[in-house]
Chains A and B, each alone.
Chain A
Amino acid sequence: MVQIKMHLLVCGGTGCRASESAVLVEQLNHQLKLNGLADEVKVITTGCFGFCEKGPIVKVIPDNTFYTNVTPEDAEEIVKEHVLKGRKVNRLLYEDPETQEHVSDSKHMEFYQKQVRIALRNCGFIDPENIDEYIVRDGYAALGQVLASDPKETIDIIKKSGLRGRGGAGFPTGLKWEIAAGNKADQKYVVCNADEGDPGAFMDRSILEGDPNSIIEAMAICGYCIGATKGLIYIRAEYPLAIHRLEIAIKQAREYGLLGKDILGSGFDFDIELRLGAGAFVCGEETALIHSMEGFRGEPTIKPPFPAQSGYLGKPTNVNNVETFANVPPIILKGWEWFNSIGSEKSKGTKVFALAGKINNVGLIEVPMGTTLRDVIFEIGGGIKDGKRFKAVQTGGPSGGCLTEQHLDTPIDFEHLAAAGSMMGSGGMIVMDEDDCMVSVAKFYLDFIVEESCGKCAPCRIGSKRMHEILEKICQGKGTMEDLDYLENLGKVIKDTALCGLGQTAPNPVLSTLLYFRDEYVAHVIDKKCPAGQCKALKSYTIDPEKCIGCTLCARTCPTNAIIGDKKVPHVIDQSKCIKCGACYDKCKFGAIQIR
């Protein structure tokens, strides 16, 4: 038998695949073969490493070299230099932005230093399409342990660990299991909510793509605890890669007897089916999700009855989010005391965030609860892109709010984020800089809500539409000060009266920006100006007479002939004719066109 001397781990997450990481894998294999190394060096496609900004990533084991921005053309050099001669390819190493030095080991990168990986423990380490690799890293050991003990003991461990639902609401997981376990029925169900609908969030998808077996194991554990023999994963149809890897994992688990009849000889039966979503944000709400799984429109219904009493097909159903499940096996193996020692007072463990927007290190991160926003944005995230000024961070997606500079030292946990006017949500974290108009951002989220409202209850269906219209009016420069009061009142009414979580939280982006960025709203209304310069209708283009040399290029470009002036004489824009298309700005070679 030939011994494998070296592993090349290549990120196969959606982001890196979009940058041709699959072609890179082919090229690496091709080069290894050409150099007669195919038997000694193995290329493994893994899940997301998290450092999406610099993808595709290649990690070399055993020396832990971390290559960034690798293209298929780099395969030859990596094989010939690093694999054959043991010389690192310096130009592909991460460069520390402060010291400008090459960092070879990811352990020494600031991006990874403050992270603690529990839910993401296997992402970027194992081949998600091979169950053996999961098993080697203690996979299914927790299930074995649980099946040999009383379900009540396991529920007790989960309760004591302090694990709370990672989908957004933060309901204690152990308590949820206990309630479902206590309801008697001939059939119960375990449901995994993988309908990750937040725009800009990709935590659950990365876990499913990088470590699908951890979810299967946790669902089986949950099934044993509550007395369910059937599991269902409700996953978005927009996640083809995650679906593919889950299908493989389920098939392999069945072959190994880790799903199906009499698991590990314990007499416990459990199997899992996939249910595809079809593009509806509201289906992340558990009652809506259950209706969707039954083949109906995904409309929510009033709770109670809770799914734990009457859920899928009217049977007791326990619904947990992907990340919640991913935390379960380590808690069983390492003990509740270990998990409970991580995090803040009421929020235990870690939280995965999808860090995106105007930030240097876009990616997937996992930090202990209680880490401050400042640490996440400036240390792990590497600060704001292009040296711009930080303006706001949006957490919780369309249900959350925007926080400002004054909140940077807020510890990230369920309580503190809610107290500051936002929420934890499922883990989307979008950073904005001085060029982002907060009124536009609020309008963007309302736009999303208007489109995604299921239409069942009037406050959400009609109210969010009216709020959107008012915001549109303000962005057009036609708003009044009364409109701001309307927005606030309407927002509060929707919060109080909407049927489900989607409607009740829909006004949050508007209310939080109104609270923290009122000046910006006022500038739109009174001064008819957009301070960030983003709202097109409020922009005005002028020509700097100092810089204009009268080349007439802009005048010839202008579609409405709004620019007047003779050759070699500074030109002027007729504001009454200008449609603010920006064509002159793009054409001017002398930077004479100014936008205000």
Chain B
Amino acid sequence: MKIELHDSHIRQIKEICDSFDNNPGELINVLHKTQNVFGYLPEEIQRVIARNLGIPVTRVYGVVSFYSFFTMKPKGKYAVSLCMGTACYVRGAEDVLDELKKELGIEVGGVTEDGKFSLDCLRCVGACGLAPVLMIGEKVYGRLTPSMVKGVLAEYE
């Protein structure tokens, strides 16, 4: 899917790059900031960043694809992330994940057709006392069981 970047978007990206003195060493910080603004980092945005920092677009893509924090696909309106740290795993996170996949009808990394939910796994939120842990946006749900999944998702209907 091709995306048309608006002139104002290109200006915005330029401003972010300028705020880091267009220093290629700050590439990761530039990407963090840009993703904060746009929600994701499609090819077109990567090209603009590469041009501003004076580096090949392959290097930008290399970094974006290396780090799991960066995404080239837009997330759902509500980003559902299940903790898959060891503590959550041994306390049954896998069963919760199966239930989430079933309820949302998507795989890990996917977005529901209406764009409402996206599903991801993350490694350790650090709230191991509450394992298994689920995050929707900033809100944390603890001590989850598969039977609670439906109710939690219903809060966002």
Contact = CB atoms under 8 A, between A and B. Distances in A.
Interface residues of A, number: 52
A15 B24 CA distance: 36
Nearest to B70: A278
Contacts of B130: 15, 18-19, 52
Interface of A: 14-15, 17-19, 52-55, 197-202, 205-206, 237-239, 275-281, 292, 294-298, 313, 354, 356-358, 362-363, 394, 397, 428, 430, 432, 436, 441, 444-445, 448, 451, 454
B37 interface: no
B85 A205 contact: no
A269 to B, nearest CB: 21
B45 interface: no
29 contacts: A14-B125, A14-B127, A18-B127, A52-B129, A199-B84, A199-B85, A199-B87, A199-B123, A200-B88, A200-B128, A202-B124, A202-B128, A237-B32, A275-B29, A278-B31, A278-B67, A278-B68, A295-B24, A295-B27, A295-B28, A357-B86, A357-B91, A397-B86, A428-B86, A430-B86, A436-B90, A441-B90, A445-B86, A451-B68
Interface of B: 23-29, 31-32, 59, 62-63, 66-70, 84-91, 122-131, 133, 140, 142
Contact of B66 (A197, A239, A297, A430): A297
User: Chain B CB within 10 Å — which of A17, A276, A432 has the most?
Assistant: A276
Contacts of A295: 23-28, 63
Given A53-B129, A201-B124, A428-B86, A276 B28 contact: yes
A52 B68 contact: no
A430 B90 CA distance: 9
B32 A276 contact: yes
Contacts of B59: 296
Contacts of A281: 123
B1 to A, nearest CB: 24
Contact of A205 (B67, B87, B126): B126
B128 A298 contact: no
A277 B67 CA distance: 8
A436 B62 CA distance: 38
Given A237-B32, A356-B86, A356-B87, A363 B67 contact: no
B122 A238 contact: yes
A296 B86 CA distance: 29
B126 A14 contact: yes
Contact of B69 (A237, A357, A432): A237
Contacts of A432: 90
A294 B25 contact: yes
B63 A297 contact: yes
A200 B127 CA distance: 9
A283 to B, nearest CB: 9
User: Chain A CB within 10 Å — which of B85, B123, B126 has the most?
Assistant: B126
A19 B68 CA distance: 27
User: Chain A CB within 10 Å — which of B23, B63, B127, B131 has the most?
Assistant: B127
A397 B127 CA distance: 16
Given A357-B87, A432-B90, A279 B68 contact: yes
Contacts of A206: 126
